[in-house]
Amino acid sequence: MKKTPFYKDGLRFSCVRCSACCRYESGFVFLSRPDLDALSNELKMKSGDFIAAYCRWIGAPGGFSQLSLREKSNRDCVFWKDGCTVYKSRPRQCRSFPFWPSVLESPGIWENTALSCPGMGKGLLHTREDIESCLRGQLGEAVITREPSAI
Rounded Cα distance between 56 and 37, Å, is: 16
How many structural domains are present in the chain?
Answer: 1
Rounded Cα distance between 69 and 55, Å, is: 4
The answer as to whether 132 is a domain residue is yes
Rounded Cα distance between 20 and 72, Å, is: 15
Residue 91, pLDDT score: 96
Averages of pLDDT over runs of 10 residues in the chain (151 residues) are: 89 92 87 97 97 95 93 93 93 94 96 94 96 93 84 50
pTM above 0.95, yes or no: no
The answer as to whether 5 is a domain residue is no
The answer as to whether 1 is a domain residue is no
Q: Alpha helices, DSSP H only, in 12-76?
A: 33-42, 47-54
Q: Going by C-beta distance under 8 Å and a sequence separation of 6 or more, which residues neighbour residue 37?
A: 47
The answer as to whether 89 is a domain residue is yes
Q: Which residues pair with 65 in a beta bridge?
A: 59, 146
Rounded Cα distance between 35 and 143, Å, is: 9
**Closest CA relative to residue 29, chosen from 149, 143, 116, 139:** 143
Domain of residue 111 covers 11-150
Residue 150, pLDDT score: 55
Residue 27, pLDDT score: 85
The answer as to whether 74 is a domain residue is yes
Greatest Cα-to-Cα distance within the chain, rounded to the nearest angstrom: 49
Residue 61, pLDDT score: 85
The answer as to whether 69 is a domain residue is yes
55-59 and 65-69 beta bridge pairing: antiparallel
H or E element, residue 146? strand 145-146
